[in-house]
Protein backbone atom coordinates (compact mmCIF):
# COMPACT_ATOMS: atom_id res chain seq x y z
CA UNK A 1 0.00 0.00 0.00
CA UNK A 2 1.49 3.30 -1.17
CA UNK A 3 0.10 6.59 0.16
CA UNK A 4 0.94 9.84 -1.55
CA UNK A 5 -0.05 13.47 -0.98
CA UNK A 6 -0.30 15.16 -4.38
CA UNK A 7 -0.03 18.97 -4.15
CA UNK A 8 -2.75 21.05 -5.82
CA UNK A 9 -3.53 24.78 -5.93
CA UNK A 10 -1.60 26.74 -3.29
CA UNK A 11 -1.92 24.41 -0.31
CA UNK A 12 -4.29 21.51 -1.10
CA UNK A 13 -3.38 17.85 -1.03
CA UNK A 14 -5.12 15.27 -3.18
CA UNK A 15 -4.53 11.88 -1.61
CA UNK A 16 -3.66 8.83 -3.72
CA UNK A 17 -3.63 5.35 -2.23
CA UNK A 18 -2.12 2.74 -4.53
CA UNK A 19 -2.38 -1.03 -4.33
CA UNK A 20 0.33 -3.53 -5.29
CA UNK A 21 -0.74 -3.34 -8.94
CA UNK A 22 -0.44 0.44 -9.06
CA UNK A 23 -4.17 1.11 -9.13
CA UNK A 24 -5.15 4.13 -7.09
CA UNK A 25 -7.91 5.41 -4.90
CA UNK A 26 -8.23 9.20 -5.33
CA UNK A 27 -9.49 11.40 -2.50
CA UNK A 28 -10.83 14.95 -3.01
CA UNK A 29 -9.41 15.80 -6.46
CA UNK A 30 -9.88 19.55 -6.58
CA UNK A 31 -8.16 19.66 -9.94
CA UNK A 32 -7.56 16.94 -12.48
CA UNK A 33 -4.11 17.77 -13.90
CA UNK A 34 -2.02 16.60 -10.92
CA UNK A 35 -4.01 13.36 -10.74
CA UNK A 36 -3.71 12.69 -14.46
CA UNK A 37 0.03 13.28 -14.25
CA UNK A 38 0.37 10.93 -11.29
CA UNK A 39 -1.77 8.11 -12.69
CA UNK A 40 -0.60 8.08 -16.29
CA UNK A 41 -2.65 5.49 -18.18
CA UNK A 42 -3.83 3.58 -15.12
CA UNK A 43 -7.49 4.32 -14.34
CA UNK A 44 -8.38 4.99 -10.71
CA UNK A 45 -10.25 2.38 -8.70
CA UNK A 46 -12.59 5.03 -7.30
CA UNK A 47 -12.86 8.65 -6.22
CA UNK A 48 -13.82 9.47 -2.63
CA UNK A 49 -15.22 12.92 -1.86
CA UNK A 50 -15.59 14.40 1.62
CA UNK A 51 -17.60 17.54 0.83
CA UNK A 52 -18.79 19.80 -1.96
CA UNK A 53 -16.25 22.65 -2.01
CA UNK A 54 -14.68 23.29 -5.39
CA UNK A 55 -11.10 22.75 -4.24
CA UNK A 56 -12.14 19.17 -3.37
CA UNK A 57 -14.43 18.25 -6.27
CA UNK A 58 -13.37 20.56 -9.11
CA UNK A 59 -11.34 17.92 -10.95
CA UNK A 60 -13.95 15.18 -10.91
CA UNK A 61 -15.60 16.07 -14.23
CA UNK A 62 -12.29 15.97 -16.12
CA UNK A 63 -11.31 12.68 -14.49
CA UNK A 64 -14.64 11.18 -15.50
CA UNK A 65 -14.17 12.50 -19.02
CA UNK A 66 -10.94 10.49 -19.12
CA UNK A 67 -12.30 7.43 -17.25
CA UNK A 68 -16.13 7.51 -17.39
CA UNK A 69 -16.63 4.25 -15.49
CA UNK A 70 -14.84 5.43 -12.33
CA UNK A 71 -17.04 5.10 -9.23
CA UNK A 72 -17.49 8.38 -7.33
CA UNK A 73 -18.47 8.07 -3.67
CA UNK A 74 -19.80 11.25 -2.06
CA UNK A 75 -22.12 12.40 0.71
CA UNK A 76 -25.81 13.03 0.18
CA UNK A 77 -25.55 16.54 -1.19
CA UNK A 78 -26.98 17.79 -4.49
CA UNK A 79 -24.02 20.16 -4.76
CA UNK A 80 -21.97 17.10 -5.78
CA UNK A 81 -23.81 15.99 -8.94
CA UNK A 82 -21.16 13.54 -10.18
CA UNK A 83 -21.68 10.98 -7.40
CA UNK A 84 -22.43 7.43 -8.51
CA UNK A 85 -22.82 6.25 -4.90
CA UNK A 86 -24.08 8.31 -1.97
CA UNK A 87 -22.66 7.60 1.49
CA UNK A 88 -23.57 8.60 5.02
CA UNK A 89 -22.29 8.08 8.53
CA UNK A 90 -22.47 4.42 9.53
CA UNK A 91 -21.93 3.12 6.00
CA UNK A 92 -19.04 0.81 5.16
CA UNK A 93 -17.59 1.01 1.67
CA UNK A 94 -15.15 -1.19 -0.23
CA UNK A 95 -12.70 -0.10 -2.90
CA UNK A 96 -10.59 -2.92 -4.31
CA UNK A 97 -9.28 -4.80 -1.28
CA UNK A 98 -9.69 -1.79 1.03
CA UNK A 99 -12.57 -1.15 3.40
CA UNK A 100 -13.57 2.17 4.95
CA UNK A 101 -16.12 3.25 7.51
CA UNK A 102 -17.94 6.46 6.66
CA UNK A 103 -18.15 8.97 9.51
CA UNK A 104 -20.57 11.89 9.53
CA UNK A 105 -18.58 14.97 10.56
CA UNK A 106 -20.79 18.05 10.03
CA UNK A 107 -19.49 21.47 10.92
CA UNK A 108 -17.30 22.73 8.10
CA UNK A 109 -20.24 21.89 5.83
CA UNK A 110 -23.53 20.29 6.78
CA UNK A 111 -22.93 17.09 4.79
CA UNK A 112 -19.19 16.60 5.36
CA UNK A 113 -18.04 12.99 5.78
CA UNK A 114 -14.73 11.32 6.56
CA UNK A 115 -13.43 7.88 5.59
CA UNK A 116 -11.63 5.68 8.11
CA UNK A 117 -10.00 2.35 7.36
CA UNK A 118 -6.73 0.58 6.62
CA UNK A 119 -5.12 2.65 9.38
CA UNK A 120 -5.96 5.87 7.53
CA UNK A 121 -8.34 8.78 8.02
CA UNK A 122 -9.33 10.94 5.05
CA UNK A 123 -10.90 13.86 6.87
CA UNK A 124 -11.18 16.61 4.26
CA UNK A 125 -11.44 20.00 5.94
CA UNK A 126 -12.76 18.84 9.31
CA UNK A 127 -9.44 18.14 11.02
CA UNK A 128 -6.11 19.71 10.16
CA UNK A 129 -2.78 19.07 11.80
CA UNK A 130 -2.76 21.37 14.85
CA UNK A 131 -6.05 22.90 13.70
CA UNK A 132 -9.52 22.35 12.29
CA UNK A 133 -11.73 23.70 9.54
CA UNK A 134 -13.84 26.82 9.69
CA UNK A 135 -17.53 26.39 10.38
CA UNK A 136 -19.22 27.51 7.18
CA UNK A 137 -22.46 25.59 7.71
CA UNK A 138 -22.30 24.20 11.23
CA UNK A 139 -22.31 25.19 14.88
CA UNK A 140 -19.62 24.87 17.55
CA UNK A 141 -21.39 21.93 19.25
CA UNK A 142 -21.66 20.13 15.89
CA UNK A 143 -18.02 20.68 14.98
CA UNK A 144 -16.81 19.81 18.47
CA UNK A 145 -18.79 16.55 18.34
CA UNK A 146 -17.37 15.75 14.91
CA UNK A 147 -13.81 16.30 16.10
CA UNK A 148 -14.47 14.20 19.21
CA UNK A 149 -15.69 11.41 16.93
CA UNK A 150 -12.39 11.53 15.05
CA UNK A 151 -10.29 11.82 18.20
CA UNK A 152 -11.83 8.58 19.49
CA UNK A 153 -10.31 6.57 16.63
CA UNK A 154 -7.11 4.55 17.29
CA UNK A 155 -4.12 6.74 18.08
CA UNK A 156 -1.93 5.18 15.38
CA UNK A 157 -4.39 6.22 12.65
CA UNK A 158 -2.62 8.27 9.99
CA UNK A 159 -4.50 11.52 9.43
CA UNK A 160 -4.68 12.61 5.80
CA UNK A 161 -5.77 16.25 5.92
CA UNK A 162 -6.59 18.16 2.76
CA UNK A 163 -4.48 21.29 3.33
CA UNK A 164 -0.91 22.16 4.27
CA UNK A 165 -1.84 24.51 7.11
CA UNK A 166 0.33 23.03 9.84
CA UNK A 167 2.93 25.79 10.15
CA UNK A 168 0.34 28.52 10.60
CA UNK A 169 -1.71 26.32 12.89
CA UNK A 170 1.35 25.72 15.06
CA UNK A 171 1.65 29.43 15.78
CA UNK A 172 -1.93 29.55 17.06
CA UNK A 173 -1.60 26.32 19.03
CA UNK A 174 1.47 27.72 20.80
CA UNK A 175 -0.42 30.90 21.63
CA UNK A 176 -3.10 28.75 23.28
CA UNK A 177 -0.84 26.28 25.07
CA UNK A 178 2.76 27.56 25.13
CA UNK A 179 3.83 25.15 27.88
CA UNK A 180 2.93 22.00 25.93
CA UNK A 181 6.27 20.26 25.33
CA UNK A 182 4.84 17.82 22.79
CA UNK A 183 3.48 20.78 20.82
CA UNK A 184 6.83 22.56 21.03
CA UNK A 185 8.56 19.50 19.54
CA UNK A 186 5.90 19.13 16.83
CA UNK A 187 6.23 22.80 15.87
CA UNK A 188 9.99 22.45 15.54
CA UNK A 189 9.59 19.39 13.33
CA UNK A 190 7.04 21.23 11.18
CA UNK A 191 9.34 24.21 10.72
CA UNK A 192 12.16 21.91 9.60
CA UNK A 193 9.95 20.02 7.14
CA UNK A 194 8.55 23.17 5.55
CA UNK A 195 12.03 24.71 5.28
CA UNK A 196 12.90 21.72 3.09
CA UNK A 197 9.65 21.99 1.10
CA UNK A 198 8.39 18.71 2.51
CA UNK A 199 4.80 17.97 3.59
CA UNK A 200 3.93 17.83 7.27
CA UNK A 201 1.29 15.15 6.58
CA UNK A 202 0.12 12.60 7.31
CA UNK A 203 0.15 13.11 11.04
CA UNK A 204 -1.27 10.65 13.60
CA UNK A 205 -4.29 10.97 15.84
CA UNK A 206 -2.12 10.37 18.90
CA UNK A 207 0.08 13.30 17.94
CA UNK A 208 -2.94 15.49 17.28
CA UNK A 209 -4.54 14.59 20.61
CA UNK A 210 -1.28 15.57 22.32
CA UNK A 211 -0.80 18.84 20.43
CA UNK A 212 -3.95 20.12 18.69
CA UNK A 213 -5.85 22.59 20.90
CA UNK A 214 -9.15 21.84 19.16
CA UNK A 215 -8.90 18.23 20.39
CA UNK A 216 -7.87 19.35 23.88
CA UNK A 217 -10.85 21.43 24.99
CA UNK A 218 -11.05 19.52 28.30
CA UNK A 219 -7.41 20.26 29.17
CA UNK A 220 -7.27 22.88 31.95
CA UNK A 221 -4.58 24.99 30.28
CA UNK A 222 -6.52 25.12 27.01
CA UNK A 223 -9.76 25.96 28.78
CA UNK A 224 -8.04 28.71 30.77
CA UNK A 225 -6.56 30.23 27.61
CA UNK A 226 -9.95 30.17 25.85
CA UNK A 227 -11.67 31.76 28.83
CA UNK A 228 -8.95 34.38 29.09
CA UNK A 229 -9.36 35.35 25.46
CA UNK A 230 -13.16 35.26 25.65
CA UNK A 231 -13.15 37.27 28.85
CA UNK A 232 -15.73 35.05 30.53
CA UNK A 233 -16.20 31.56 31.98
CA UNK A 234 -17.15 28.86 29.46
CA UNK A 235 -19.74 26.27 30.37
CA UNK A 236 -18.40 23.15 28.67
CA UNK A 237 -15.95 21.74 26.14
CA UNK A 238 -18.16 22.75 23.20
CA UNK A 239 -18.13 26.34 24.44
CA UNK A 240 -14.35 26.15 24.82
CA UNK A 241 -14.13 24.91 21.25
CA UNK A 242 -16.34 27.75 20.01
CA UNK A 243 -14.16 30.32 21.78
CA UNK A 244 -11.00 28.78 20.32
CA UNK A 245 -12.44 28.75 16.80
CA UNK A 246 -13.52 32.39 17.07
CA UNK A 247 -10.04 33.27 18.38
CA UNK A 248 -8.39 31.40 15.51
CA UNK A 249 -10.63 33.11 12.93
CA UNK A 250 -9.08 36.46 13.84
CA UNK A 251 -5.60 35.23 14.77
CA UNK A 252 -2.51 36.66 13.10
CA UNK A 253 0.88 35.19 13.94
The torsion region of residue 150 among left (phi > 0), alpha (psi -120 to 50) and beta comes to alpha
Q: Which of 52, 112, 144, 163 is catalytic?
A: 163
Give yes or no for a cis peptide into 65 (omega within 30° of 0).
Answer: no
Of these residues, 28, 52, 53, 116, which one is catalytic? 53
CA distance 60 to 79: 13
- Select which of 28, 52, 55, 112 is catalytic: 55
Bridge partners, 47 (sequence order) = 26, 72
Q: CB–CB of 70/43 below 8 Å?
A: yes
For residues 95 and 30, give the distance between their C-alpha atoms in angstroms, rounded to a whole number.
20
Catalytic site residue from 77, 112, 125, 144: 125
Q: What string of DSSP letters covers 171-199?
A: HHHHHH-TT-HHHHHHHHHHHHHHHTT--
**Residue 235 annotated as catalytic:** no
Residue in 51, 112, 116, 144 annotated catalytic: 51
Please confirm, yes or no, whether 112 is among the known catalytic residues. Answer: no
**53 given a catalytic annotation:** yes
Decide if 125 is catalytic: yes
Which listed residue (52, 108, 112, 144) is catalytic?
108
| Helix intervals (H) in 40-153 | 54-57, 60-66, 140-151
Residue 108 falls in the annotated catalytic set: yes
Given 56, 112, 116, 144, the catalytic residue:
56
Q: Which residues contact 83 (CB under 8 A, 6 or more apart)?
A: 49, 72, 73, 74
Whether 55 sits among the annotated catalytic residues: the reply is: yes
Cis amide prior to 202 (ω within 30 degrees): yes
Q: For this structure, is 11 an active site residue?
A: no
Catalytically active residues are 51, 53, 55-56, 108, 125, 163
Amino acid sequence: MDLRAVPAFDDNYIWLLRDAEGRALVVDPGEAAPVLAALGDVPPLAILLTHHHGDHVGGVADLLARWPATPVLAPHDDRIPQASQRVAGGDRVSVGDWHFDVLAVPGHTRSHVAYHGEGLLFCGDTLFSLGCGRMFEGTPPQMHASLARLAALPGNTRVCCAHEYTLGNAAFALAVEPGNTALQARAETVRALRAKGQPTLPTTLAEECACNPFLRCNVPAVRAAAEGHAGQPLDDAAAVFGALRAWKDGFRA
